[in-house]
Amino acid sequence: MLKGNAVIGQSGGPTAAINATLAGVVRGLLEADCIGEIYGMRNGVEGLLDLRLINLREAICGEEALCLLSHTPAAALGSCRKKLPEVDGDDNEYRELFSILEEYDIRYFFYIGGNDSMDTVAKVSAYAQKVGYEMRVMGVPKTIDNDVMGTDHTPGYGSAAKFIATSMQEILRDCAVYTVPAVTVVEIMGRDAGWLTAAAALPRLHSDIAPDYVYLPERSFDMDRFFEDIEAALRRHPNVVVGVSEGLRFADGRYVGESAQSGVRDVFGHRYLSGTGRVVEQAVKEKFGCKTRTVELNILQRCAAHIASETDLAEADMVGRAAVEHAIAGETGKMMGFERTSNSPYAVKVIANDISAIANRIRAVPDEFINERGNDVTDECLRHIEPLILGEPKLEYVGGIPRHFSFK
Amino acid sequence: MLKGNAVIGQSGGPTAAINATLAGVVRGLLEADCIGEIYGMRNGVEGLLDLRLINLREAICGEEALCLLSHTPAAALGSCRKKLPEVDGDDNEYRELFSILEEYDIRYFFYIGGNDSMDTVAKVSAYAQKVGYEMRVMGVPKTIDNDVMGTDHTPGYGSAAKFIATSMQEILRDCAVYTVPAVTVVEIMGRDAGWLTAAAALPRLHSDIAPDYVYLPERSFDMDRFFEDIEAALRRHPNVVVGVSEGLRFADGRYVGESAQSGVRDVFGHRYLSGTGRVVEQAVKEKFGCKTRTVELNILQRCAAHIASETDLAEADMVGRAAVEHAIAGETGKMMGFERTSNSPYAVKVIANDISAIANRIRAVPDEFINERGNDVTDECLRHIEPLILGEPKLEYVGGIPRHFSFK
């Protein structure tokens, strides 16, 4: 059994469940005899390189603190968007990183993040093997986008989907009170995959009210067909509500929101998107002359821990613990994931996949989950998502708002 | 004791508590022997004029339905923004209205709404007196804005304030994960009064995290002073978060959001506001060149019943029941309200005020609740708001989202 110290990092966009995974990894490590110190990197590998480490055995005292951490949104350790260089290129940065790992006798390396973070895991793992440094490197997925390969779904998605479905039902009620024809456009995150936008249609399963359409980035957006949809909806009732993904593109590949954005790209080359909803709203206003409104769910959809999914939080913890077990059992260069063994009753088992097959690839909403016209998702899709949003966590409130955990 | 039928209407913008008041009025009426039929107007006085009435004894069956109604956001009966003409002018519309009231033998008239709706109550009451039609006309306030005169606070405000405080704490966590200097502007509703924006500072009372500043419409907005504030905040930490009211104006009276709006006004002459946050964000981006973001809480702040305040819902019900008691006791032309008899422990008693002294006036945040520089609220202000957001309702969830009530 490999003895040594462990380090944990969080990376990428915050979610309501990433701290539950941190708590799960810590819980797993606390139970393991072969683990010495447990360090947290502040702001991911960026903080590791700057030696900004925190001793988690001291900083998280007891189960009460772990429970509070699990119910706190965003990344308690901080995050980063650092992209490591190619393993076979100039290795100055890797040599610096590994001298730190060696100095601290780090033999277990856990990194919790989305697609871009799995790229970091793959590279750290590959470099360790290349230079013969014995270390178990495990990736634990999180992303509200649910677009990571090698897993049925990602921790963080269920909570975001629950917020979106709940908010959409509330927005629908709000929009239903007037009799004046109006079109409300709800803009939802998800640059490359429509899982979050699909969740906006969930009220349809049990409520008397549902959005008229949801438009996913898996289908090209056609303004003329969209106008036909809106016209038909306005004939049915005055209060039309549609969900649109921020990542919608026209057939020629241009983002719908592109006209309203700066063209700035992040370090991974992704464009910053914003404004898809407003572009669509403006087009409706000009075409139909009716009242219009855009609601951007914005960062609330990734940080609204007050309406987190208990299923999501429990799974986020489970996959964190499992990462520790797999690492201690000798695995490395793996990403933890879920395999859904049954949908009704819902059941999953934890799996570990080779990370090199997973990093930098996108898991889109499959064709059979999208209707023929490309303006809605199927009931089968909604029944696939529903188990992930079930259950409400028991939160501790102080002064009327949820109590949160924070370091120092 | 005046015998006859009753009618209830909802008007103005939706809230998370307006249906709890409807439930309260219905509960009160169901217990009264002198009440015959109980009608609901669909879409306020607009629906009454169109004879779109619903029999509430049949449509709301039992306590379970009333409880579900209380936990459902927005106006279940629908709303309107209709402004009645002056009582002493052309009275065609009033003659139509009163012939309907007489036909249905309506002797009790309850109207639940904000400032504009109290204008309707005042006029219906005045006209009834003018023509000698015996009817008890009672206004029950609701508005998330909390800006109605003659009451310590309004039902609907506590739930909106709880959503804003909770979301602000979550946004602050989300913004804290990166180390790159960034300014996040959170735009909050409240055209004329800063009560909602003040609530964004509530995390300061119990959390380790709070917005750097909140800017209320009670103070002129000065861009140079604002830049000084931001510069000072960026020196303290990289993640600056400010709350701004949609109703901010410059010293010359122009709305800060005016450059980003159409100039359209509603039937009450109020300008549609939108874009204050983006105008401020853009100014920060140009001045400091740092990363910026706007989060508009938008209509979620008035319809997020999933994070309603139990205190608010209980009071909304209480004031609805009390309106019935006061009406049966012979009062008319009154608006129900609260007098706070103690802040710690929090205690209120229900009061009834003459409506003519209340309608069309705004209750702003008092001077002593705003700091000297005009960029924050005092702790006293926060302790005044806090009791209103306490408690979480027990919601029924189905398929992972709250179950809602709806008519038909």
Angle at A238 between CA B116 and CA B246, to 5 degrees: 45
pLDDT at B266 over 50: no
pLDDT tens by residue, B356-389: 888 778 999 999 999 999 999 999 999 999 999 9
Chain A environment of B304 (Cβ under 8 Å):
167, 170
Range of the domain at B259: 157-303
CA distance A57 to A354: 30
The tokens describing B220, both together, are 């002129």
Chain B environment of A174 (Cβ under 8 Å):
14, 73-74, 299, 302-303
Specify the higher pLDDT residue, B348 or B275: B348
Residues B12 and B37 in one domain: yes
Residues B218 and B312 in one domain: no
pLDDT tens by residue, B284-331: 999 999 999 999 999 999 999 999 999 999 999 999 999 999 999 999
CB B168, CB B186: distance < 8 Å: yes
A197 touches chain B (CB under 8 A): no
Q: What is the tally of structural domains in chain B?
A: 2
The pLDDT of B348-352, averaged and rounded, is 97
Residues 6+ apart with CB under 8 A from B365: B193, B194, B195, B198, B216, B218, B377, B381
CB A209, CB A152: distance < 8 Å: no
Per-residue confidence (pLDDT) for residue A189, from 0 to 100: 97
CB A311, CB A154: distance < 8 Å: no
Q: Does a structural domain hold residue A373?
A: no
Burial class of residue A100 (count of CB atoms within 10 Å of its CB; 0-12, 13-18, 19+)? middle
In this structure, the number of other CB atoms found within 10 A of the CB of residue A95 comes to 12
CA distance B375 to B226: 8
In this structure, the number of other CB atoms found within 10 A of the CB of residue B171 comes to 28
A344 touches chain B (CB under 8 A): no
Residues A72 and A190 in one domain: no
pLDDT tens by residue, A329-361: 999 999 999 999 999 999 999 999 999 888 778
pLDDT tens by residue, A135-162: 999 999 999 999 999 999 999 999 999 9
CB contact under 8 A, B401 and A206: yes
Per-residue confidence (pLDDT) for residue A282, from 0 to 100: 87
pLDDT at B259 over 90: no
Per-residue confidence (pLDDT) for residue B115, from 0 to 100: 85
A176 touches chain B (CB under 8 A): yes
The tokens describing B246, both together, are 């949609």
Residues B279 and B162 in one domain: yes
The radius of gyration of chain A's CA atoms, rounded to the nearest angstrom, is 22
Annotate B85-107 with b (16+ C-beta within 10 A) or e (fewer): eebeeebeebeebbebbeebebb
Per-residue confidence (pLDDT) for residue B263, from 0 to 100: 47
pLDDT at A187 over 70: yes
Identify the CATH number of the domain in which residue B260 sits.
3.40.50.460
Per-residue confidence (pLDDT) for residue A262, from 0 to 100: 47
Per-residue confidence (pLDDT) for residue A327, from 0 to 100: 98
pLDDT at A260 over 70: no
CB B255, CB B271: distance < 8 Å: yes
Q: Does a structural domain hold residue B165?
A: yes
Per-residue confidence (pLDDT) for residue A263, from 0 to 100: 47
Residues A48 and A132 in one domain: yes
Cα separation values, B24 from A173, B21, B169, B314, Å: 20, 5, 32, 9
pLDDT tens by residue, A44-100: 999 999 999 999 999 998 999 999 999 999 999 999 989 999 999 999 999 999 999
Domain termination site, one of B277, B303, B329? B303
Q: Which residue of A has its CA nearest to B391?
A: A400
Residues B94 and B180 in one domain: no
Specify the higher pLDDT residue, B168 or A268: B168
Residues B167 and B78 in one domain: no
pLDDT tens by residue, B71-115: 999 999 999 989 999 999 999 999 999 999 999 999 999 999 988
A145 a catalytic residue: yes
Residues A80 and A179 in one domain: no
Residues B161 and B288 in one domain: yes
**3-state SS assignment for residue A38:** strand
pLDDT tens by residue, A268-316: 555 544 589 988 998 999 999 999 999 999 999 999 999 999 999 999 9
The tokens describing B2, both together, are 């005046």
Q: What are the strands of the beta sheet with A182-188, ordered from one edge?
A: A213-215, A239-245, A182-188, A291-296
**3-state SS assignment for residue A97:** helix
pLDDT at B268 over 90: no
Residues A199 and A254 in one domain: yes
Query: Smallest Cα–Cα separation from A219: which of A192, A183, A259, A257?
Result: A192
Residues A265 and A311 in one domain: no
Chain B environment of A74 (Cβ under 8 Å):
170, 173-174, 176-177
pLDDT at A259 over 80: no
Question: Mean pLDDT, chain B, as a whole number?
Answer: 94
C-alpha torsion sign, points B173, B175, B179, B185: negative
Q: Does a structural domain hold residue B168?
A: yes
Q: Does a structural domain hold residue A378?
A: no
Q: Does a structural domain hold residue B377?
A: no
> A366: which DSSP letter?
P
Distance of CA A368 to the CA centre of its chain: 22
CA distance A155 to B101: 57
CA distance B256 to B78: 32
Residue B157: which H helix or E strand, with range?
helix B157-175
Q: What percent of chain B has pLDDT over 70?
A: 96
Identify the CATH number of the domain in which residue A332 sits.
3.40.50.450
Q: Does a structural domain hold residue A124?
A: yes
Residue that the structure tokens 């609901």 belong to: B40
| ipTM of the prediction | 0.95
CB contact under 8 A, A174 and B401: no
Question: Mean pLDDT, chain A, as a whole number?
Answer: 94
A303 touches chain B (CB under 8 A): yes
Instruction: Write the Ramachandran bin of B269: left for phi over 0, alpha for psi from -120 to 50, otherwise beta.
Output: left
B40 touches chain A (CB under 8 A): no
Q: How many CA atoms lie within 13 A of A203 on its CB side?
A: 27
Among residues A145, A212, A229, A376, which one is catalytic?
A: A145
Residues A19 and A129 in one domain: yes
Residues 6+ apart with CB under 8 A from B350: B318, B319, B322, B336, B337, B338, B339
B225 touches chain A (CB under 8 A): no
Domain termination site, one of A267, A302, A337? A302
CB B180, CB A78: distance < 8 Å: no
Q: Does a structural domain hold residue A263?
A: yes
Shortest Cα distance, chain B CAs vs residue A132, angstroms: 32
CB contact under 8 A, A303 and B170: yes
First to last CA, chain A: 33
CB B62, CB B23: distance < 8 Å: no
Query: Smallest Cα–Cα separation from B9: which of B95, B129, B106, B128?
Result: B106
Q: Does a structural domain hold residue A374?
A: no
Q: Is the whole-model pTM more than 0.80?
A: yes
pLDDT at B244 over 80: yes
| Strand stretches in A2-42, DSSP E | 4-10, 35-41
Domain termination site, one of A302, A320, A343? A302
Residue that the structure tokens 């800063």 belong to: B194
